[in-house]
Every structure is written in structure tokens, then in C-alpha cells.
Amino acid sequence: MVISEIKKLPEEGDIVIATIKEVTGHGAYVRLDEYNEMTGFLHISEIATGWIRNIERYVRAKQKVVLKVIRVDKTRAEVDLSLKQVSGEERKSKLIEIKKHEKASAFLEIIKSKAKITDAQLNEIEDKILQKYDYVYDVFETVAKKGIDAIQNLGLSPEVVKAIEEESNKIQIPHVEIRGIIEISLKGSDGIDVIKNMLTAVEASKSSATVNITYIGAPKYRIVVIAENFKVAEKVMNNVVEKVHSSIDKYHGTFNFIREESKKTHQG
């Protein structure tokens, strides 16, 4: 865990990662990994719905669990937690967050070595990053997606910037790819040139995804949209298809669109 990201006391409703310290007949005592390893309590009634015959079927000593904070006594620094109130999406999101923390810690250690900086200098770098990003890992992900120019405003030394770029290149950004085939035709001797110019303009349009249009064979063209997620990809695809359809209609041409199978990929 990155030191500067460790918090003092959780708030009610927070999703936290914990390690089971001791299981008793009434529940389990846990260590809150992100909060200086303070102790919290998971009552048996908050482990699972219904009657529990054997608590250790659900939680065991040394096990890592994702829990929800349901009560905080700040004067006594006591925290009550729940396992059953954590949704599947909350658990997944928390585990991804923790994994990013771990990766960020590993990256920072490498940067410390490569840039030959002290622990104090490393802490200063973390502070600069956290002034602009929610998590340290975000800066590496940003560079992986947008390039090193995206973090020039952090005021880091050239040695540190170079080390960040090298580590960011190791991150594989998940992408999705959706495809479709448009069948378009125009009457007239210049029909093909009009279509070619129109598709080139659409392909070059600014968007939050990469758009590639290739010729298959008259009258078919394949549209490939690559984006970070399906929501973004679908939005861009719909915009592209709408633009092509609208342009073809102006020339009183024919238009048809057929979706193809989508897939997930990675940017290495």
C-alpha cells in the first residue's frame, strides 16, 4: 500500500479491505488493511443472511475480505462492519482498487531506483500526483492511454518522468472492438469518389475512440470502432453510421448497415 494513501478512520458506508484476525462464536475481529491495521468487528448477523451454523464456512483467520462500514464510533475508534451488505459490484470495484494500489507501490519502488531518489523525494512525488489524481496508479494509467505529455504539468524531474513513462508502457489498457458492415451506393460516374471522400472525412472526425473504415468490395465497407468500453464504442459507432446514412440520403443513394460480432482486446 502506498503510504500517503493510508487513511486514519473510515466513514460509514465505506467499502474496505480487511484481514480476518480471529473468529469467535459471535462474529469475527478483523484488521483494516487501509487504516493503519486498526481492529474492526464483523458481527455474525452481518456475515450472511439466515441462520449461520458455522461461521468458518464464510470467514477464516488470515482471509482477506471486502466489507462495508456500518457504524463508526470516532471517540472510541470502534468500527462495525458487514459482509452481507457488500454487493458483487462493490466487491469487484474494491479488489480492482487494491490491485492498483499494489501496482502503484511496485512502480514507485522501481522509479525510486531508476531515478536515484530518496524516500523523502518519493513522498514529494506522491504528494504532487495526489494533488491532481485520486490514486497514484492513475498517473501511470493516464500516460499509458495518452502519452507522457499528459503529465508534464506535474512538475516532475526529467529522470522521474522518463521512469514513469517506462513503467507506464508495461500497462495493458483494456479495449473493446465493435464492427459493422455498411452497404452504400450512389448513382453517377462520380459516385465512388463521393463515397470515398465522405468515408475519409467520417474516419478522420474527432471522437473518443479509434475509427477505421476499409473497403471490402462494392458496395460493402467495414467499420471498426476501438474504445475503452462498449458504451463509448457503441456511441461512436452510432454517430458514424448516422453521419454516413445522412450523407448518402443527401445524394439519394442506397444505405444498409449490418452489425458484426464484438470482442475485447488489449493495447499492449
The answer to whether 188 and 217 are in contact (CB under 8 A) is: no
Residue 127 and residue 46 share a domain: no
Strand segments (E) across the chain = 15-24, 27-32, 38-43, 64-73, 78-82, 173-185, 210-217, 220-227, 254-259, 263-267
Taking only the tens of pLDDT, the chain with its 268 residues reads 444 444 588 999 999 999 999 999 999 999 999 898 899 999 999 999 888 889 999 999 999 999 999 999 988 889 999 999 999 999 999 998 888 889 999 999 999 999 999 999 999 999 999 898 888 999 998 898 888 988 888 888 999 999 999 999 888 777 788 999 999 988 877 888 888 888 888 888 777 778 889 989 888 999 999 887 888 889 999 999 999 999 899 888 899 999 987 765 555 4
Residue 227 and residue 190 share a domain: yes
Residue 260 and residue 178 share a domain: yes
| 73 lies in some domain | yes
- Spatial neighbors of 207 by CB under 8 A, at least 6 apart, are 236, 239
- DSSP code of residue 255: E
What amino acid is encoded at 266 in this protein?
H
Residue 152 and residue 207 share a domain: no
| 7 lies in some domain | no
Cα(56)–Cα(40) distance, integer angstroms: 17
- Spatial neighbors of 214 by CB under 8 A, at least 6 apart, are 221, 222, 224
| 6 lies in some domain | no
Residue 254 and residue 187 share a domain: yes
CATH number where 139 lies: 1.10.150.190
- Residue range(s) defining the domain that contains residue 134: 89-168
What amino acid is encoded at 217 in this protein?
G
Residue 81 and residue 132 share a domain: no
End-of-domain residue from the set 85, 111, 134: 85
- Quick one: pLDDT at residue 3? 41
Which residue, among 228, 265, 231, 206, has the nearest Cα to 141 in the 3D structure?
A: 228
| 5 lies in some domain | no
| 77 lies in some domain | yes
- Quick one: pLDDT at residue 58? 93
| 1 lies in some domain | no
Q: Give one DSSP letter per residue of 189-227, joined into a string.
A: TTHHHHHHHHHHHHHHS--SSEEEEEEEETTEEEEEEEE
| 9 lies in some domain | no
Residue 44 and residue 130 share a domain: no
